[in-house]
Amino acid sequence: MSVYSLPEPAYPMPERFSQLIKPSSRLSSLTGLVRKASSLGGITPTTRISTSSLSMPLTLYGGGGGGGSSAGSCSSLIGADGKATMQNLNDRLAAYLEKVRSLEAANGELERKIREWYEKRAPVARDYSAYEKTIAGLRKQIGAMTQMNAKIILQIDNARLASDDFKVKYEAELALRQSVEADVVGLRRVLDDLTLTRSALEAQVEALQEELIYLKKNHQEALLVLRSQLGGQVSVEVDAAPQQDLMEVLDEIRAQYEGIAEKNRRDMEGWYKGKVRLPARGDGPAAGTLCAWPRNLTTFCSSEIALLSLSPQFDVLSQQVSVSTEALQSSKSEISELKRAIQGLEIELQSLLSLKSALEDNLAETESSYSAQLTKLQSQVTQLETELGRVRVDTERQSSEYQMLLDIKTRLEMEIAEYRRLLDGEDVGLKSKDLIMICIPPPEPQPEAPPSPNPERSRKVKTIVEELVDGKVVSSEVKEVEEKL
């Protein structure tokens, strides 16, 4: 049976191994523990104990040197002085355990230094606060522009609804105007018909006046014929109308005959009274009256004879006068009726003229009011069209600005996603493989330029790949790629 010495391990022994080894154990147990330790060498990734390192023989007085010794010499040595050997082994085991503790402490210190070194060499976490502020400002601008766009769309809808209302009102007023114009055309036709009726009535009045003049002329001629017959003179036909009126002539003749009749009546009464009151004597005034009676009687008889001689002519004249009077009365009645008809037509004409003037005034007023309203509506439509054009221009400008901001936002989101992808890739690379490390330097700060309609941006991605073996850099590779945004 070979006894192996325990060399100084490159890594600290596990805690369970140190707990299993006791200073009071025997050599056989020590050998079993060493074998168990050799079997447990691959438990943890940080502790590795190779079986080849245990090939050195365990001596009684020394550490890890020397050539090998046989099992027989060792057994004889143990048999000679077992207690001393066990004490020596216990002392060496205690020293070994102390050394193991010191190595564990040194190993912990080295691990701490390694962690610090990795923390120092690890890529620095980038500060995205400036980008976040820019993104927050852009988001606020996008929200404000979205609200403004919604307000503009609402204003456009309100303007469109108002325009539709104005169109409906305009169509209603246009229909009303057309109906009024149709009424005016109908009234003008009625006015033309009334004008024609008035012209016809005026022609009838002129014809009746001519007929009246003709009747008067015939009546004057008949009177002249009668006068010539009564006077026994030569009748002279006169075409000109007489200056005197027929009624006046008749009144004069009637007055003359009434005066003659009154005179005869008085004479007869006087004769009768004188005859009744005859005086007894022949002297005095009665005698004068009686003497004057034959003279009065003679005068009366002569007047009666004259009347009797004129009675046939007077009858004919009376008949002609009565016929002429009837014709004159009928003509007067017709003339009065025609005058009343003319007056009624004139009144109706005046009413129609007043109605026409009122309708013309109403039409003029309606046309003026509608023209004013139409001018106002046209001005409002022009103003609304101007405002709509301005709103369209503003909407197009805001849409272009919104599109530009969306492009900027998309590019920023792409950059942030790329940064996150690269950072996540670094973390995954550091966690999954210890041999590759990707380092991306932070972007250099550049002055912000004002946004242009078509901005051109590019970025440089620098990739450093290092291969590490046992904490040493074996190979390094640097790649630099320029990408356009």
**Residue 212 one-letter amino acid:** L
pLDDT bucket at 455, cuts 50 / 70 / 90? low
Considering only residues 120 and 403, tell me which one the structure prediction assigns the higher pLDDT: 403
Considering only residues 8 and 472, tell me which one the structure prediction assigns the higher pLDDT: 472
Count Cβ neighbours within 10 Å for each residue of 249-273 and write b for 16 or more, e otherwise.
beeebeeeeeeeeeeeeeeeeebee
* Other beta carbons less than 10 A from residue 30's beta carbon: 19
Angle at CA of residue 363, ends 360 and 366, nearest 5°: 150
pLDDT bucket at 380, cuts 50 / 70 / 90? confident
Least confident of 148-162, 285-299, 399-413: 285-299
> The sheet that has 472-484: what strands, in order across it?
436-439, 458-469, 472-484
Residue 447 is classified by DSSP as P
User: Do 296 and 271 form a contact (C-beta atoms < 8 A)?
Assistant: yes
Compute the average pLDDT of residues 412-430: 71
Compute the average pLDDT of residues 385-394: 89
Least confident of 105-119, 122-136, 288-302, 388-402: 288-302
Least confident of 91-95, 232-236, 338-342: 232-236
pLDDT bucket at 6, cuts 50 / 70 / 90? very low
User: Do 411 and 457 form a contact (C-beta atoms < 8 A)?
Assistant: yes
Token pair, residue 103, equals: 């190595």
400, 446, 441: which is closest to 134 by C-alpha?
A: 446
| pLDDT value of position 76 | 47
DSSP H helices, 6-63, are 15-20, 27-39
**Would you state the torsion angle of the CA atoms of residues 417, 419, 422, 426, taken in this order, to the nearest 10 degrees?**
-130
CA 385 to chain CA mean position, Å? 11
| pLDDT value of position 61 | 38
Residue 461 is classified by DSSP as E
Task: Look up the pTM and report it.
Answer: 0.23
Angle at CA of residue 271, ends 267 and 273, nearest 5°: 120
Beta bridge partners of 181: none
Least confident of 161-175, 268-282, 314-328: 268-282
Residue 319 in this model has a pLDDT that exceeds 80: no
The predicted-structure confidence for 118-141, as pLDDT tens digits, reads as follows: 888 766 667 777 788 888 889 999
- Measured between alpha carbons, how far is 317 from 230 in angstroms, rounded to an integer? 9
Residue 20 in this model has a pLDDT that exceeds 60: no
Considering only residues 42 and 260, tell me which one the structure prediction assigns the higher pLDDT: 260
Domain segments of the chain as ranges: 15-121, 164-386, 433-443+455-485
Highest mean pLDDT among 76-80, 229-233, 303-307 belongs to: 229-233
* Other beta carbons less than 10 A from residue 25's beta carbon: 16
Count Cβ neighbours within 10 Å for each residue of 335-362 and write b for 16 or more, e otherwise.
beebeeebeebeeebeebeeebeebeee
Phi, psi of 232 (to 5 degrees): 65, 25
pLDDT bucket at 27, cuts 50 / 70 / 90? very low
Residue 276 in this model has a pLDDT that exceeds 90: no
- Measured between alpha carbons, how far is 327 from 219 in angstroms, rounded to an integer? 10
| pLDDT value of position 153 | 93
| pLDDT value of position 34 | 41
Q: Is 462 helix (H, G, I), strand (E, B) or coil?
A: strand
Compute the average pLDDT of residues 3-10: 40
| pLDDT value of position 424 | 76
**Residue position matching structure tokens 């003319």:** 342
Residue 53 is classified by DSSP as G
Compute the average pLDDT of residues 360-388: 86
pLDDT bucket at 463, cuts 50 / 70 / 90? confident
Considering only residues 130 and 109, tell me which one the structure prediction assigns the higher pLDDT: 109
Compute the average pLDDT of residues 274-287: 49
